[in-house]
């Protein structure tokens, strides 16, 4: 079987919109929970929506948590989307403390319910937000954001955010009423996107096309 990208089906997530977006980029896409297909993937996507504990349970019950960790060691491109990004972290504080995949060390915490000035703002954070390159990152060349310009807007919808242990793992941020949000994180070949590229128009498709160019 020849394919360009595998999207993990673990019983939770926005599988079909992700597949359609990759297909719109010309990719041959496989949705599967088959470990053999996952480890043989040239590129791997961990999608997800919903609660962190439910997502990890879906992976663990299928024995896919260890498969994803093993894949990450291969050096091949891996991207987590929305909840999938959060599950790359070490631990989440959503409805208790839950262990993640620990592929990008860090903690998933609730977005503060107030602005930097103390005024209340809406949670979940639902907005098209501009991507900002952190001061610690010189360029997006040779990354999943190589086809993306700073200031490009992406569709975010979430109540929790990843705080990496090392700020060098923040590839792109956005700001919600002054609150710093990790929009893209990266450690080696492993990436996470908090926003939904499959719902982010041309800018989102440009990111997916770049992912398909990576090897």
pLDDT (tens digit per residue) in 39-55? 999 999 999 999 999 99
**Fold type of domain 5-213:** Rossmann fold (3.40.50)
Is residue 141 helix, strand or coil? coil
Question: Is 169 a catalytic site residue?
Answer: no
Q: What is the pLDDT of residue 3?
A: 87
Instruction: Tell whether omega for the bond before 124 is within 30 degrees of 0, i.e. cis.
Output: yes
Tens digit of each residue's pLDDT (9 = 90 or more) over 19-78:
999 999 999 999 999 999 999 999 999 999 999 999 999 999 999 999 999 999 999 999
What is the rounded distance in angstroms from the CA atom of residue 59 to the CA atom of residue 178?
34
82 noted as active-site residue: yes
Q: Which of 82, 94, 158, 193 is catalytic?
A: 82
The pLDDT, as a whole number, for residue 2 is: 78
For range 138-145, the mean pLDDT: 96
Would you call 97 a catalytic residue per the annotation? no
Residue 13 confidence (pLDDT): 75
Average pLDDT, the chain: 96
- pLDDT interval class at 1 (50, 70, 90): low
**Domain residue ranges of the chain, discontinuous segments joined by +:** 5-213
In the set 70, 98, 196, 213, the catalytic residue is: 196
The answer to whether the CB of 176 falls within 8 A of the CB of 191 is no
pLDDT mean over 126-149: 96
Interval 162-170 mean pLDDT: 97
pLDDT in tens, 94-108: 999 999 999 999 999
Query: Rounded to an integer, what distance in angstroms lies between the CA atom of residue 191 and that of residue 184?
Result: 7
């Amino acid at each position: 079987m020849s394919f360009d990208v595998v999207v993990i089906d673990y019983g939770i997530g926005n599988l079909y919109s992700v597949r359609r977006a990759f297909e719109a980029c010309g990719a041959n896409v496989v949705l599967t929970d088959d470990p053999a297909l996952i480890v043989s993937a040239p590129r791997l996507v961990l999608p997800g929506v919903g609660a962190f504990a439910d997502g990890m349970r879906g992976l663990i019950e299928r024995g896919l948590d260890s498969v994803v960790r093993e894949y990450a060691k291969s050096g091949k491109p891996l991207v987590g989307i929305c909840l999938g990004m959060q599950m790359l972290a070490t631990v989440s504080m959503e409805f208790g403390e839950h262990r993640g995949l620990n592929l990008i060390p860090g903690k998933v915490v609730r977005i503060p319910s107030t602005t930097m000035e103390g005024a209340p703002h809406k949670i979940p954070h639902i907005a098209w937000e501009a991507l900002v390159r952190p001061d610690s990152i010189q360029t997006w060349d040779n990354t999943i954001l190589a086809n993306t310009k700073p200031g490009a807007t992406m569709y975010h919808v979430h109540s929790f955010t990843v705080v990496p242990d090392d700020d060098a793992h923040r590839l792109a941020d956005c700001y919600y009423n002054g609150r710093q949000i990790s929009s893209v994180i990266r450690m080696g070949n492993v990436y996470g996107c908090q926003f939904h590229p499959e719902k982010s128009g041309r800018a989102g498709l440009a990111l997916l096309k770049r992912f398909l160019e990576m090897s």
